[in-house]
Structure 1
Amino acid sequence: MRTSYQYRLKPNKEQREIIDNTLDMLRCQYNYQLAQRFNWYERNRCSIDRCLLICHLPELSEKPNRFSQQASLKQLKIDRPWYKNIHSQVLQEVPKRVEIAFDKWLAGDSNGKKAGRPRFKGVGQYKTFTYPQFKQHHFVGNKITLSKIGDVKVIVHRPIPDGFVIKTVSVTKKANGYYVTLSLDDKTVPTIKPDFNADNIVGIDVGLIAFYVASDNTRIAAPKHLRKAERKLKSAQRKVSRRKKGSNRRKKAIQKVGIKHKKVADARKDFHFKTAKILLSKYDVIAVEKLNIKGLARTRLAKSIHDAGWSQFRNILEFKAENAGLRVIAVNPNSTSQECSSCGHKVKKSLSQRIHNCPVCHTSLCRDLNAAINIKARGTHALKAQFMSSMTSP
C-alpha cells in the first residue's frame, strides 16, 4: 500500500534562504536542459517528406536523454561550483522531470492525445524538489534532516502509521510557507477488502447544483468554494493592480492573493476527501461517469466546473478506494440523462429541464437521479464483464 502524508515545515531564516536558492538553481537547470531538448528537436526535424536520389543530409545530433543529461551534471558542478550546495540526487531529478514533460509533448498520453508544449519556468514557478531516497532515522520526533539544508522543524499533526516506511521526501514552497510530503509504503497491507461485496454498488451523477446525486436518491449540495470567495479575491487582486510593479508592497499583495487562492483550494480538497469517505463507508463499488472535463471546461460553465473539481474528486475517490480494497468503476457517460432508467427509451431534454418524464412508461423523476440509476446499471454490467474475463483468463 502506498500513501502520502504532508506536514508543514518551520525552517529558520537561513534554511529558508537555502531552500529558495535551491529551487531557483533547479529552475535554471530545468530551463537549460529543456532548451537542449528543443534545440535537438529543431535541428533534427524536417517538414520535407521526399528528397532527390542523390542528396547531402546534415549530420544528425544525438538525442539528449535523461541519462546523458544526468551525466553532464558532473561537469556542471565544476563549471558552476555553487551547484555543489544541492544534493546530487535532488539535482538528478531535474532531467527526469524534463524527460517526462518533453516525451509527453511528443508522444501524448495513453490515448494518443498530445499535451501542450512544455514551458520554461519563470522566477518562483519551480516549487518542488525531491529526495528519491530517504533514511528512516532522519525523521525523528518533530525534526527532519534534509541533506544540504539541515535539521528542520516539522509540525507533526498526525503520526506516521506503524509499519510504513518512508520512500521519498519532497519539499514544496507554497503561498503560505514550506511543506514536506512523505511517500509511505507498507507491503503487508492487503490490497483487497476481505468482506468485499460486489452487489453493494451505487451510481453517482456529479453536477453543479448538487455536487452528486446517488442512485439511492441521496445527494450533497455543491459547496461552490470559489463563488463564495470571489468578493474577497477581487478585492485582493485589485490591490495588486494598484501597487507599483517590482515594489515590495506589490510582492506582499501577490502573496496575499496566493494565500486566499490556497485557502479555497484547501477547502475544496477537504470537501472531496470527506465526501469520498462518506461514499466508501457505505458502498463497496462506486460507478462514476468518465467525463471529458477539459472539453466541458471550454464551455460557458467553465468557472463552475473548475470550482466543483470533479477530476480531483474522482482521483481522490479512486485513490482512497484502492487503499480501502474497494472499487471505482468508470462508465461511458453518453445519454445517461436522456435514457429512461425504467424502460431505456431515449427522452431528449435540454439542460434546463430538470425532470425526466418518459412518454412510454410514464416514469417521472429528477433527471440527475435518473442518470445515477443508469450509471449504476452500466457499472454493474462493467463489473460483471470484468469478473467473467478474469475467470476465463489463464
Structure 2
Amino acid sequence: MITLEFKLKGKAHQYRIIDEMIRTAQFVRNKTLKYWTENQGVKLVDLYKQCAIMAKEFEWAGKLNSMARQASAERAIFAIQRFFANCKAKKTGKKGYPQFKKHTRSVEYKTSGWLLSTDKKCLTFKDGFAAGKFKLIGIRDLHFYAPDEIKRIRVVRRADGYYAQLCINVERKEESVPTGKVIGIDVGLNYFYTDSDGETVSNPRYLRKSEKALKRLQKQVSRKKKGSGNRKKAINKLGRKHLKVSRQRKDFAIKTALCAVKSSDFIAYEELQVRNMVKNHKLAKSISDAAWSQFGEWLQYFGKVYGKTVIAVAPQYTSQDCSNCGNLVKKTLSTRTHICGCGAVLDRDHNAARNILAKGLKPAGINLNTVGHTEINAWGQTDLYSLVAASTSKSTG
C-alpha cells in the first residue's frame, strides 16, 4: 500500500463544503463513541449499524457517503481496540481511553463517493454534499495505477490548503545494488546520528532555528481580539510556520533514511522509547525536534522497499558497554568520550553504534570481537560474514 498526496484546487465555496464534510465525519465518529460508552458490552461490529441509523436520524449526516460514514465509525472502533490492546498488554502509564474529538481535520472515503477524471488530473466528490470537481496539483502520475487499485481517499485540511491522499493497493519494490557494507546507527542530540564507522550526520534543529519567528507569530495571535478576522489570519500564519517546520523535519528524516539504506546492506539502529524520554523537560524540545521515531519508521520502510535488512535493537547499555572488550564503563550524559581499561578510546556515540551493530548481528551468530572465526549465518547470505569483517576493519583502522 502506497499513499500519494495532491493539493486540491477549487473555489472558496467548495472548500466550505469540505469543512462541512469534515465536521460531519467528526460527528459520526463522536456519536459512535458515545453509543459505545452508553452501552457497555456492545459488540464493535454493531457500531457500524449506527452509521445507517444516524443517516436516517440526521438529514445532514445522510449527505455524507455511506462508506465515508463507515470510515469515520472505524476511527472510533480503532481507538477502542487500541485501548483494550494496551490494557491486555498491561502497558505502563495511560492506556489511551478513547476521547471525543473537537478539531478533526480530515474525512475519509473508501471506494465510492468520488470519481477520477479520464485524464486523472481532477477529482470529483459526488455524494450528498456535492463538493464538485477539484484539480489535483502534484508531481505524481496516476496513469500508472488503475482506478480499482485506489482503496481510500482521505481529504485533509492544513494551514496552507486542502489535500487529497490516495491510498493505492500496490506493493512498491525498487532495485538495489549490493554495497558490501553493514552499519550500526546511534542517534543523538549533538549529531543526528553516528554510525559504527565513525561517520556522523549533523542535527538540523529546524524547530530551534525557527523559534524566534514562532514566538513572534504567537505574540501576534495573542494580541488580536478573539473571534476577529485578524486573529484568524494570525492563527493561519502561525499554523503555516509550524507546518513548514514539520515538513522540513519529515523531508530530512526521509532523505537521511533513504541514503543510509541505499549505502548499506545491513542496518542496525536503536529502538528508543521517545514517549518516555520526552518526560525529561530539559531535553523534551530537542528530542522532539530530532524526530528519531520518524527516522526509524522510514528506515524500516525503505528497508522493505529496497530489500535490505534493517533491525531495531534495544538501547540498554549500548553507551555503557565497551565495544572492544565488553566491559561495563559507567559514564554520565555529559561524558562524551568512552575510555576503557582495555585501551579503547572512542567517541561515546561511535562506541554505542558499534555495540548496536553487534546486537543486531547477534541473531546471525556473528560476534564482532571474534570476526576472524567461522560462524553460522542465519540469513543465508554467503557474503554477510565477510562484509562484517571488512566493515569492522574499517571502523577500527
TM-score class, shorter: 0.7 to 0.9
Q: 2:140 aligns with which of 139, 142, 158?
A: 158
**Residues 172 and 179 of structure 1 are in contact (CA less than 8 Å); yes or no, is this contact kept in structure 2?**
yes
30-39 or 342-351: bigger deviation: 30-39
Aligned pair in 2 of structure 1 residues 343, 219: CA closer, same or farther (>3 Å)? same
Report the CA distance between 1:320 and its aligned residue.
1.7
Per the alignment, residue 316 of structure 1 pairs with: 298
**1:202-245, CA deviations, whole angstroms, 9 ceiling, x for partnerless residues?**
10000011000011111111000100000010011111111122
Does residue 9 (structure 1) correspond to residue 14 (structure 2)? The answer is: no
Deviation at 1:138, TM superposition (A): 4.4
Q: Deviations over 1:174-211 (max 9, x none)?
A: 11111111112335x659x68668x6321000001100
2:72 paired residue among 91, 94, 106 = 94
Map 1:254-333 → 2, pairs under 5 A: 254-299=235-280, 300-333=282-315
Contact 1:203 1:215 in 2 (8 A): yes
Distance 1:109 1:390 in 2: 39
Query: Counterparts of 1:138 and 1:111 in 2: how far apart (Å)?
Result: 47
The match for 1:178 is: 162
Q: Look up the equivalent residue of 1:171 and give its one-letter code.
A: V
- Identify which range, 101-110 or 343-352, moves more after superposition: 101-110
Letter of the structure 2 residue corresponding to residue 214 of structure 1: D
Does the alignment pair 1:379 with 2:385? no
With over 3 angstroms needed to count, the CA separation of the structure-2 counterparts of 1:281 and 1:353, relative to structure 1, is same
Local SS of the residue matching 1:231:
helix
Question: In 1, distance between residues paired with 2:219 and 2:364?
Answer: 52
Question: Mean alpha-carbon deviation: is it higher for 24-33 or for 171-180?
Answer: 24-33
* Aligned 8 A contact 1:5 1:183 in 2: yes
For 2:2, give the aligned amino acid. Answer: T
Report the equivalent of 1:58. Answer: none
1:226/1:139 CA distance change after superposition, 3 Å: farther
1:346 aligns with 2:335: no
Change in Cα spacing, 1:287 to 1:111, as seen in structure 2 (3 Å) is: farther
Residues 18-57 of structure 1 aligned to structure 2 (within 5 Å):
18-41=17-40
User: Residues 221, 195 of structure 1: CA spacing in aligned structure 2 closer, same or farther, 3 A cutoff?
Assistant: closer
Quick one: distance in 2 between partners of 1:25 and 1:326?
A: 43
Distance 2:308 2:314 in 1: 20
**Residue 42 (structure 2) aligns with:** 63
80, 102, 120: which is aligned to 2:100? 120
Distance in 1, Cα, partners of 2:230 & 2:237: 11
C-alpha separation in 2, matches of 1:36 and 1:166: 31
Aligned to 2:216: 235
8 Å Cα contact 1:339-1:347 kept in structure 2: yes
Report the TM-score when normalising by structure 1. Answer: 0.85
Report how far residue 282 of structure 1 moved.
Answer: 0.5
Native 8 Å contact 1:142 1:156 kept in 2: no
Cα 1:274/1:211, change in 2 over 3 Å? same
> Structure 1 residues 317-326 or 339-348, which shifts more?
317-326
In 1, distance between residues paired with 2:126 and 2:243?
A: 28
* Alpha carbons of structure 1 residues 64 and 185: separation in structure 2 relative to 1, 3 Å: closer
Q: 1:106, CA displacement in angstroms?
A: 2.9
Contact 2:338 2:351 in 1 (8 A): yes
**TM-score normalised to the size of structure 2?**
0.85
Q: Quick one: which amino acid aligns to residue 122 of structure 2?
A: K
CA distance in 2, matches of 1:310, 1:109: 26
CA distance in 1, matches of 2:20, 2:197: 54
Q: Which AA in structure 2 matches 1:247? A: S
Unaligned runs of 5+ in 2: 367-375, 382-397
Matched residue SS, 1:76: helix
Cα distance between partner residues in 2 of 1:116 and 1:100 = 11
Q: 1:352 Cα shift? A: 0.6
Q: How much does 1:268 deviate?
A: 0.3
- Aligned partner of residue 341 in structure 1, secondary structure: coil
After superposition, the Cα gap between the structure-2 partners of 1:333 and 1:200, relative to the gap in structure 1 and judged at 3 Å, is: same
1:324-377 deviations in Å (ceiling 9; x for gaps):
212210112111111111111111111111111111x11111010010011111
CA distance in 1, matches of 2:301, 2:143: 18
Q: Which moved more, 1:247-256 or 1:366-375?
A: 247-256
User: Structure 2 CA distance, aligned partners of 1:232 and 1:139?
Assistant: 44
Contact 1:206 1:310 in 2 (8 A): yes
- Correspondence list, 1:81-230, <5 A: 81-108=59-86, 111-113=89-91, 115-122=95-102, 125-133=103-111, 138=117, 140-148=119-127, 149-160=131-142, 162=144, 165-187=149-171, 200-230=181-211
Alpha-carbon deviation of 1:139? Answer: 6.5
Query: Which secondary structure does the structure 2 equivalent of 1:126 belong to?
Result: coil
- Number of equivalenced pairs: 363
Distance 1:355 1:228 in 2: 28
Residue 248 in structure 1 maps to residue 229 in structure 2: yes
1:116, distance to aligned residue in structure 2 (A): 2.1
Distance (Å, rounded) in 2 between the aligned partners of 1:272 and 1:207: 14
Give the superposition deviation at 1:104.
1.4
Helix, strand or coil at the partner of 2:98: coil
- Identity of aligned pairs, percent? 35
